Amino acid sequence: MIVDLDDDVAIVTGAASGIGRAIAVRFAEAGADVVVADIDADGGADTVAQIEDTGGTGVFVDVDVSDGDDVGAMVEATSERFGGIDILVNNAGGSLAGDDNLHRIDESTWRTNIDVNLTGSFLCSKAVLPEMAAGGGGRMVHMSSVNALMGIGLTSYSSAKSGLFALSRTIATQYGRHGIRSNVICPGTIETENRRREMEASGGSDVRDEWLEQYALDRFGTPDDVADAALYLASDMSSFVTGTELLVDGGLTTGLDHSL
Ligand code: NAD
């Protein structure tokens, strides 16, 4: 089967850089009209330019996903421009505001991470539901993390990302009869520009090598690795897949066999 998003309209949040940008471009290459939704207008314009380079259609919408009014305006603008919404990728987020181990974070750090990573996904999912149902169905993909499974620091980020499992599964069961599928992606370390800079700042090649040691496939992921997984979950290739979590982590969570 050829992966084809022709006639589909997709909203990708956090598409001004990194993983979200790779997803937006990949979806456009597959034929979708893409809304690049982000708080970063400059990065958003760069993503739109990359989409146009592929011959696709992309539109930037300035939105803070943790703000219900912004999210409502984004959905309205998308429907007006494209006449419906078929795909939502809840990708905006990250470990924000100095997230850390429990004893080192304050309440505002906790709330910021929950607001953007979890409440933002709730707001966007809820806002697109009527459009998807009216159009006969849709597909939602929520960007979680291996942190949701492993208990490795970043308490508020990890808590928000595991909340996405329940959000996604409840959407899957509540709206499956309306043709809506909902799934989660859990990436391991993905070498985006921002991530590379963070690794440099926290110790350079030593830290990099230490992390790499944990990966069965002996490499970190690329934004394109995640974009391919998102394309699968957003297309008819996964038409019998809903309420599940897809790990894109190079074997990190599987653990290593050091017996060789
Ligand atoms: P990134 O920082 O490159 O991109 C995140 C994007 O989200 C940015 O464009 C930013 O402007 C946008 N954003 C942040 N807050 C926002 C808000 N309130 N409203 C709208 N947009 C907002 O990060 P990335 O590495 O590409 O991460 C993308 C997603 O993948 C995140 O949810 C992150 O938690 C998840 N993830 C990343 C990795 C990794 O190693 N890179 C691993 C696991 C999960």
pLDDT digits over 56-97, tens only?
A: 999 999 999 999 999 999 999 999 999 999 999 999 999 999
First to last CA, the chain: 39
Count of domains for the chain: 1
Distance in Å, CA 14 to ligand 1 centroid: 6
Asked if residue 198 is part of any domain, the answer here is: no
Asked if residue 86 is part of any domain, the answer here is: yes
Q: Catalytic site residue 157?
A: yes
Crossing angle for the helix pair 120-134 and 68-82, to the nearest 10 degrees: 30
Backbone angles phi, psi at 214, to 5 degrees: -80, -10
Pairing between strand 33-38 and 245-248?
unpaired
Query: Counting atoms of ligand 1 from 1, which one is nearest the CA of 95?
Result: 34
Q: Provide the mean pLDDT of the chain.
A: 96
Distance in Å, CA 259 to ligand 1 centroid: 37
Amino acid of residue 215 = Y
List, in order, residues 6 or more apart from 138 with CB less than 8 Å away: 85, 86, 87, 88, 128, 131, 132, 179, 180, 181
The pLDDT of 163-184, averaged and rounded, is 98
Asked if residue 1 is part of any domain, the answer here is: no
Asked if residue 23 is part of any domain, the answer here is: yes
Structure tokens at 239: 């038409």
List, in order, residues 6 or more apart from 103 with CB less than 8 Å away: none
- Cβ(8) – ligand 1 distance below 6 Å: no
Domain that holds residue 97: 9-191+221-255
Asked if residue 24 is part of any domain, the answer here is: yes
- Cβ(156) – ligand 1 distance below 6 Å: no
d(CA 114, CA 157): 7
> CA 42, 38, 135: angle at the middle one, nearest 5?
130
Asked if residue 155 is part of any domain, the answer here is: yes
Per the rule left: phi > 0, alpha: psi between -120 and 50, beta: everything else, 255 is: left
Model confidence pTM above 0.90: yes
Query: Counting atoms of ligand 1 from 1, which one is nearest the CA of 144?
Result: 44
Distance in Å, CA 188 to ligand 1 centroid: 13
Distance in Å, CA 119 to ligand 1 centroid: 14
Per residue in 104-147, pLDDT (tens digit) is: 999 999 999 999 999 999 999 999 999 999 999 999 999 999 99
- Cβ(41) – ligand 1 distance below 6 Å: no
Report the percentage of the chain scoring pLDDT > 70. 98
Catalytic residue (one of 157, 175, 215, 232): 157
Strand boundaries in 52-137, DSSP class E: 58-62, 87-90
CA-nearest residue for atom 28, ligand 1, is 19
Domain CATH code at residue 136: 3.40.50.720
For residue 101, how far is the Cα from the chain centroid?
A: 24
Pairing between strand 180-187 and 87-90?
unpaired
Asked if residue 19 is part of any domain, the answer here is: yes
> CA 35, 40, 41: angle at the middle one, nearest 5?
70
DSSP 3-state of 78: helix
- Cβ(65) – ligand 1 distance below 6 Å: yes
